[in-house]
Amino acid sequence: MAEAVRRYAVVTGANKGVGFGTVKQLASKGVVVVLTARDEKRGLEALEKLKDFGISDLVVFHQLDVTDSASAAVLADFVKTQFGKLDILVNNAAINGSIINPEAFISAATAKNFPNGWPKEVLSDAGTLTEERIDSVLNGFLEDSKQGLQDTKIWPPVFPPYTVSKAALNAYTRILAKKYPNFCINCGSPGFVKTDMSFNAGILTIDEGAESIVRLALLPNGSSTGLYFSPKEVAPF
């Protein structure tokens, strides 16, 4: 019997939470995973924890700060040199940006949660989406924030910075899916998971949240692309 083709994955922000759970589940399915984290010490500690599950031989650590293009370039070079290809990228890294009310965090960060106005129209219209139009939304929000106008009726009322940034990222996913039709590119919410991000107020375990992300990561070639899943069903952007 021919040996199965080895698959390689990168998971960002993977030293804890849903990212860590995603690494664990991908490796348990035989995928070689690069566990990344901004903090090298925390990343190596996460790698050590995986020894308890007997899968640490399928996981390697590499430092990555997704906000630093030089750091991303170093990781890309590492993957190219060590593996020669990358099959799966789980772009999980995120921060909430400030202290917020845990109940407010439950709201999904999608364009449908924007009040009616030009930002919602831009992010909701898949047919006219471009990087420039997404940038116009982000720049508009930043400008209003600087002037203390983020509470105007065109921006989300619940934790605007997080909601605007995540909705923009989800919109960008649709652009990438059109640009690279031979790739399967989707975005999804793991649900309300009990993690530091949700102030441990979630109702799902880390493993339950990671399960829906891993399902997307392992979709076969030719599967649906450019969709938003919340957590396992296709949902509106």
Rounded CA-CA distance 218/203 in Å is 25
| Helix 160-179 × helix 131-146 angle, to 10° | 170
Which residue of the set 162, 172, 180, 228 is catalytic? 162
Query: Which residues have a Cβ under 8 Å from the Cβ of 139 and sit 6 or more positions away?
Result: none
Active site residue 172: no
Per 3-state DSSP, the chain is made up of helix, strand and coil in percentages (nearest 5) of: 45, 10, 45
**201 neighbors 107 (Cβ within 8 angstroms):** no
Neighbours of 75 (CB within 10 A): 19
Residues annotated catalytic, as ranges: 162
